[in-house]
Amino acid sequence: MQLLKALLFLLIPVTLALPVDVAAPVDNVLETRQSGPVTCGSNTYTVAQVTGARNSGYNYVKQGGTAGGSTYPHVYNNYEGFSFPVAGPYYEFPLLKSGAYTGGSPGADRVIFNKSGQRAGEITHTGASGNNFVGCSRTS
């Protein structure tokens, strides 16, 4: 019993000294896990580009609007059955090489996020049949 007390006496200060970032939102953990470039067809996107598209799309969702005269962002039903690391419902928003989507042609690539703004993954029409999607390099 004395040994147990001594061990606890030594471990408690060490445990209390460990850094804890209680302010870090959950999706920072997901962003870290999903970090690194993403390739959709022949396009490669940086984490900053994907995060920027996700943030832009999520801002439209929060405000109840869409980009330009488009329908984006809109609900993504996941008919293809992707295994996303966050729960839905999901939204899709165009993923572009230069800047945030503001209307017009959306291109083939999309970032997917949920109603809380958490990044779910990236998908593309490139290589898919019809109007379906396939996963980009980090989406299965």
Q: Report the catalytic residues.
A: 74, 92, 125
Alpha-carbon separation of residue 115 from 13, 73, 76, 77, 99 (angstroms): 40, 11, 11, 13, 22
Two tokens at 11? 């471990």
Q: E strands, the chain, where?
A: 38-40, 43-45, 74-76, 90-94, 109-114, 119-124, 134-135
